[in-house]
Amino acid sequence: MDYDPRFPKWVQIADVIRQRIYSGEYPPRHLISEVRLEQEFATSRPTIRKVTKALREEGLITTHTGMGSFVTDGPHERPADE
């Protein structure tokens, strides 16, 4: 992924994951693996944790200690203002 230097990496990665959730590529209950995201986006764990925190705050994912983060049950629709 080519990062835009005008925006933080975590914001750009969150946008990609959000799009995958909205499109159904990541369906409800899909595991959002921090390790896989680190590898895919070639970034650090703290950056990925900012991504998951933002998506949790939006209600798109939920995190269960010892199990991981999962896409919440839908439907997931892109907000009208996007």
Chain segment 37-58, per-residue pLDDT in tens: 999 999 999 999 999 999 999 9
CB-based burial of residue 81 (10 Å sphere; 0-12 exposed, 13-18 middle, 19+ buried)?
exposed
Per-residue pLDDT of 20-40, as tens digits, reads 999 999 999 999 999 999 999
Task: Supply the pTM of this predicted model.
Answer: 0.89
- Assess whether pLDDT exceeds 90 at residue 1: no
pLDDT value of residue 77: 73
The confidence band for 74, taking pLDDT boundaries of 50, 70 and 90, is: confident
Look at residues 40, 65, 39, 38 and name the one whose alpha carbon lies nearest to residue 50: 38
